[in-house]
Amino acid sequence: MAVNTTTLIQRAREALLKAYAPYSKHPVGAALVADDGSLYAGCNIENAAYPLGHCAEATAIGSMVLAGNRHITHIVIVGPGEHACTPCGGCRQKIREFSGPEGVAITICNNDGDVLLETTIAELLPHAFGPDNVQETNR
């Protein structure tokens, strides 16, 4: 069952409404589809000890892994304002970790669901360090 972009945007917008962002006031929602067609959503979860906060992408990836999936095919991220809420450096690495052989499509939207940017993990994290790099040293 294919999950279309409109559905992912809607789920990411719903996730944003559940964000716990009392410090930054920057709620973010994410929704991803795994290679078996399953959909997982996440929101950012901040903490009074700031570095302990989780990004929306990381929350969605955690749900995917918990359910037994390993490959993201498409992730939508929704953030406030008109400045595209692209994944932070750490989340780019996390998305790369669970990239399938076809890569990962990334769509960034504003609160209204308007698409601000369509890109890929290969564009956001070129020459990435990934699982293949580690496996080469373990042979």
Residues forming the site for Zn ion (CB under 5 A): 55, 88, 91
Residue least distant from Zn ion (Cβ): 55
* Nearer to Zn ion among residue 37 and residue 90 (C-beta): 90
Catalytic residue of the set 14, 57, 102, 136: 57
46 given a catalytic annotation: no
* Nearer to Zn ion among residue 55 and residue 78 (C-beta): 55
CB of 37 to Zn ion, least distance (A): 25
CB of 46 to Zn ion, least distance (A): 12
SS (H, E, C) 30-56: EEEEECCCCEEEEECECCCCHHHCECH
SS (H, E, C) the chain: CCCCHHHHHHHHHHHHCCCECCCCCCCCEEEEEECCCCEEEEECECCCCHHHCECHHHHHHHHHHHCCCCCEEEEEEECCCCCCCCCCHHHHHHHHHCECCCCCEEEEECCCCCEEEEEEHHHHCCCCCCHHHHHHHCC
* Nearer to Zn ion among residue 91 and residue 105 (C-beta): 91
* Nearer to Zn ion among residue 59 and residue 69 (C-beta): 59
CB of 132 to Zn ion, least distance (A): 23
CB of 44 to Zn ion, least distance (A): 8
Active-site amino acid positions: 57
